[in-house]
Amino acid sequence: MDQVILVVYFVALSILTFFALHGFIMIYFRNKSKDVQFKALDKPLEDKVVTIQLPMYNEMYVVERLIDSVCELDWPKDKLEIQILDDSTDETTQIVAKKVEEKKAQGFDIVHIRRNNREGFKAGALKYGLQFAKGEFVAIFDADFVPRPDFLKQTMKYFSDDKVGLVQTRWEHMNYDYSLLTKVQSFSLDGHFVIEQHVRSKAGFLMNFNGTGGVWRKECIIDAGNWEADTLTEDLDLSYRAQLKGWKFVYLRDVTTPAELPAEMNALKAQQFRWTKGTVEVSKKLLPMVWKSHLPLKTKIVSTYHLIGSYAFPFILLSTIINVPLVFIKNSGYHEDFFNAMSIFILGFLSTFFLYFFAQKDVHEDWQNKIILYPLFMAGSMGFALNNSRAVFEALLDRKSEFVRTPKFKIEGKKDKWVDKKYKAKINFSVYIELLMAIYTFVGLVAAIYFMELAAIPFHLLSFLGYTFVSVGSLKHALANKK
């Protein structure tokens, strides 16, 4: 049995190291690649009509903030159309209707679009609204975003190249300081937005629209086959289909669009589940097309890393489970050479660490204060492994699920509260398994301390903290919402 456990552990760590080496690839191209040159006009294309699409479903707390911010965009009123794509089933619809009348009276071309059903969820709403869009360009904002007034002037000047199909801005987090949960989320997202998206755009690799905070050329959407609802990440799906058709994407790392981070654990878990499952669904759908294309080999490799990254979660879960008996196996006095050889896997840790190190250093003046969140980010990755592994397996088994929106509560400062608000994220049964995992990893931590396995203690500590943070946080937040 020891031999079986050791072999499985070695395979799991080898696969995780393979995934983690993506960080070194990103850092290499960050330092070596010259920026792909996209000609930007001195002035934006203010003679072009832009349609702003605002897809929403039950967003009563943030919808007025969103509409107000969009109406403050610095763009000629006669060249701006605003579509409220409202699939709501609550009082959001009445709030929107009142706000639309207010903005119409102020001279805005704003329409309130309702469907008879929620078919296709967000993708269906965007596709439906596109039929009536007047604009040659389409900007999209989720309900938790607050675009800056100069958003269109910063993005539209890059459409001077007729092959540019999308301009994406970096997400900024307006409630970063709200709690430890939002701080760790911000840290995690910076890895994607500061390094991965920037490098993919800079080096000419395939990148993705992030679902919001970007502007599409309408022709590009249509040419790529329009929005499709067969995955939970319709943005990633359309992005790859468009670039496989030859369209170019521009990413603006230094142009940011503020957004609200989930402040409640169960809402965050639902969001992570959707993103993870959707990415696996897109990988199954489009990865064969990537490899059949005429793209350069390095682009295919980077795209593969991009699309299969979520597959790492089951192996994180597996390695966590195996690590507890491993403490006892190691102290049986055998397999010393095997455990000495395990030091090679430190490469995976270093690769991931440097990716997030540069993500903080590249855009934050106080990066020294932010990089200390890395251990908590690692703990969170372990704690979310069960939730996200379930998403991976559901996608692999073609088990379809509803597009579960992330509740927004207009959390901007520390005085704002999400407790007692109408929208409540559902608590999944898996939280009780996560609680058992917290107890299980605590056994591993105690054993590592007892046997003085100094190298193993940090891993067991992070695993224990991660599962405790996720499980207790889920239960605590769910109970707080019931009061």
Task: Tell me if residue 87 is catalytic.
Answer: yes
| Pairing mode, strands 80-86 and 109-114 | parallel
DSSP 192: I
C-alpha 329/C-alpha 326 separation (Å) is 5
**Cβ neighbours of 337 (radius 10 Å):** 7
To which residue do tokens 């996200």 refer? 388
Which residue's structure tokens are 């491993």? 326
State how far the Cα of 166 lies from the Cα of 75, in Å rounded to an integer.
19
CA distance 208 to 452: 46
State yes or no: is 78 an active-site residue.
no
Token pair belonging to 440? 């299980």
- End-to-end Cα spacing for the chain: 49
- Residue whose C-alpha is closest to residue 272's, from 480, 474, 16: 474
* Cα–Cα nearest to 249, from 309, 166, 151: 166
Provide CB contacts within 8 A for 273, sequence distance 6+: 387, 388, 390, 391, 404
Structure tokens at 329: 């196996």
Residue 368: partners with Cβ closer than 8 Å, 6 or more residues away: none
86, 87, 142, 144: the catalytic one is: 87
CB 166 within 8 A of CB 236: no
Q: How far apart are CA 356 and CA 354, in angstroms?
A: 5
State the catalytic residue, choosing from 142, 190, 235, 237.
235
- Do 91 and 107 contact (CB within 8 A), yes or no? no
Catalytic residue annotation: 87, 235
